[in-house]
């Protein structure tokens, strides 16, 4: 059975007729072509598919598209704003927080939510905070450093944009 839904993704509203069984991750990847959200396991263990729904990090492989009807979603493609990279994106680059990069979008989306709720996390809080996201390449060492880099940067006073 098809149902009409409207989802705002990265600031743009999309209205589509979808099967009730359609998973949100497939809606994002296949319907909208936003392939930065990855699929690693189908069972919400690996976290590669993590996105933000109304600001909260959610694993989109175990969410139906119809459940996100009327919601605001952010995917990795919507994280940079006006050509400015997010502090987490910078951190992952500066600190070598990735190798193959497959887990990276999910790690960043999860970390955005974590840092929004806890602006000054300890290393242990970071490690528990990303415990729902698996990385097979880096041993997590530089991922933790990347998140620490971002937390520090986000705590700095924001420069006001020059008009």
Partner 1 sequence: MEEKKLKLPYGIPGHNLTEIERVVPADEPPAWPINDKLKVVGKSVRRTDALAKVTGAAKYTADIQLSGMLIGKFLRAPHPNATIRSIDTSAAERHPGVYGVHVITHHKHDGDESGPGEFPEIKYAGQPVAGVAAVDMPTAIEAVKLIKVIYDTKPFVVDLEEAQKPESPLVYDAPVDQQETDGGGGSESGLGLNGNVRGPSRGGGPRGDLEKGFAGADIILENTYRTQVHTHSSLETHGCVVDWKPDNITIYASTQSTKGVRNEFANHFNLNKSQVRVICEFMGGGFGSKHSAGDFGLMAGHLSKKTGRPVKLMLDRQEEHISGGNRPNSIQYYKLGAKKNGELVAMYQRSHGTGGVSLGAGVGHIAEAMYTCPNFTTEQYDVLTHASPGAAWRAPGNVQGAFGLESLIDELAEKLGMDPLKLRDKIDPSEIRKVERKRGAEKFNWARRKKANSDTGTVKKGLGMAQGHWPRIVHIDSTAEVRAYRDGGVEVRSSVQDIGTGTKTIMAQVVAEELGLQAEDITVSIGDTAFPDGPSSGGSIATGSITPAARSAAYQLKLKLFDQVAKNLGADASDLVAENGQIVSKKDAAKKVPFKEALRKMRYEQISASGSRADDYEGFAYGTIAHGELGSVQFAEVSVDTETGFIQVDKIVAAHSCGRPLNPKQIESQINGGVIQGIAYALYEDRIMDKATGQQVNKNLHQYKLPMSFETPEIENIIVEEYPARSNTDAYGIGEPANISTAVAVANAVYNAIGVRIKELPITPAKVLAALNKA
Query: Apex CA 58: angle with CA 135 and CA 154, to 5°?
Result: 75
Angle at 119 between CA 114 and CA 123, to 5 degrees: 70
Is the CB of residue 108 less than 8 Å from the CB of residue 97? no
Output the smallest distance, CB 83 to partner 1, in A.
11
Q: Candidates 52-60, 65-73, 103-111, 155-163 — which segment interacts with partner 1 by CB under 8 A?
A: 103-111
Closer CB to partner 1, 14 or 102, in the complex: 102
CB-CB contact of 96 with 37 (8 Å):
no
**Only segment of 38-46, 65-73, 114-122, 150-158 that touches partner 1 (CB under 8 A):** 38-46
Residues that contact partner 1, how many (by CB under 8 A) = 56
Q: Provide DSSP, 3-40.
A: EEEEEEETTEEEEEEEETT-BHHHIIIIIT--TTS--S
Determine, following the binding rule CB under 8 A, whether residue 79 of this chain makes contact with partner 1: yes
Selected binder of partner 1 within 25, 48, 52, 65 (CB under 8 A):
48
Rounded Cα gap, residues 91 and 89, in angstroms: 5
What residues make contact with partner 1 under the rule CB under 8 A? Answer: 21, 29-30, 33-43, 45-46, 48, 75-77, 79-80, 85, 88-89, 92-94, 96, 98-105, 108, 124, 126-128, 130-131, 133-144
């Amino acid at each position: 059975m098809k149902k009409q839904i409207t989802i705002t993704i990265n600031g743009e509203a999309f209205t589509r007729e979808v099967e009730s069984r359609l998973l949100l991750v497939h809606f994002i990847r296949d319907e909208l072509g936003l392939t930065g959200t990855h699929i690693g396991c189908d069972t919400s263990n690996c976290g590669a598919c993590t996105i933000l729904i109304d600001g909260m990090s959610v694993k989109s492989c175990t969410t139906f598209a119809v459940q996100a009807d009327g919601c605001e979603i952010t995917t990795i493609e919507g994280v940079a704003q006006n050509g400015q990279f997010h502090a987490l994106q910078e951190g992952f680059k500066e600190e070598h927080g990735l190798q193959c990069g497959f887990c990276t979008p999910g790690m960043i989306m999860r970390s955005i939510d974590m840092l929004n709720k806890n602006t000054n996390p300890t290393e242990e809080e970071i490690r528990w905070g990303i415990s729902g996201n698996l990385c097979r390449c880096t041993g997590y060492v530089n991922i933790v450093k990347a998140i620490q880099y971002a937390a520090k940067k986000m705590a700095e006073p924001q420069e006001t944009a020059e008009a």
